[in-house]
Amino acid sequence: MSVPHARGQRPYDAAMTDLEDPTDPSRMQAPTGFHHDRPLDRRDLLDDAIAQFRRWLTEAERAGIALPNAMALATADADSTPSVRHVLLRGIDEEGFRFFTNHDSRKGRELAANPRAALVFLWKDLDRQVSVTGSVERLPDHESDAYFASRPRDAQLGAWASHQSQVLRDRAELEERLAENDARFPGEVPRPPNWGGYLLRPATVEFWQGRRHRLHDRFRYRRDDEDIGAWRVERLNP
């Protein structure tokens, strides 16, 4: 049974409103019945993990979810110290998942030292998550050039201006570099040599569908070889 709530207010919003201290994480509990209890069975899934991901990504976009291609990207350095941030998925095909960034950023340095990563997509309004693990490699220059050329001019100049992940004196320093590069490149803006794309070749892809009482449906696709072979699909305990 769903928890009663005001018209137009979601169950979780109503529960949060009732908290005496809404900043206390231990009290931030979704009420029983928060999930729509939409079942996910093996027969609902395609045999190919990439095709299934495309289906869910399309459904997230059609549901009006803002930035459905936003994903958490987790990396680790050579000592296995992890870090995580959100980036945007910019390509998906049978090879894997593509994204772009500064190679000298923290994530770029960590991928150079430890070329494996994990991704998580969260589509909260659909009670869905997808998590991916695999190896990562740089994309060839022509792919990075093509994507960079498609970006707005301000974003292109920003890639030159930002020494990503390095200490910044103040905002004025960043804006000065932006203006300098705007004057430096009055026409076409070339791709910075330390900026480009990555391909994550998936070894596992897990699809998560929220269910009531935290008894969620989880299915993991995996294959022993990231480049070839059919996917094996396994149901996991929630």
Q: Catalytic residue numbers? A: 214
Q: Give the HSE-up count for residue 17: Cα atoms under 13 Å, Cβ half-sphere.
A: 8
CA distance 75 to 202: 14
Query: In sequence order, what are the residues at sequence separation of 6 or more whose Cβ sits closer than 8 angstroms to the Cβ of residue 4?
Result: none
CA distance 124 to 210: 9
Q: Supply 174's token pair.
A: 């960043």
Distances, alpha carbon 187 to alpha carbons 29, 152, 157, 181, 182, in Å: 53, 13, 11, 11, 9
Strand partners, 201: 135
Q: Supply 226's token pair.
A: 């990231």
CA distance 121 to 63: 15
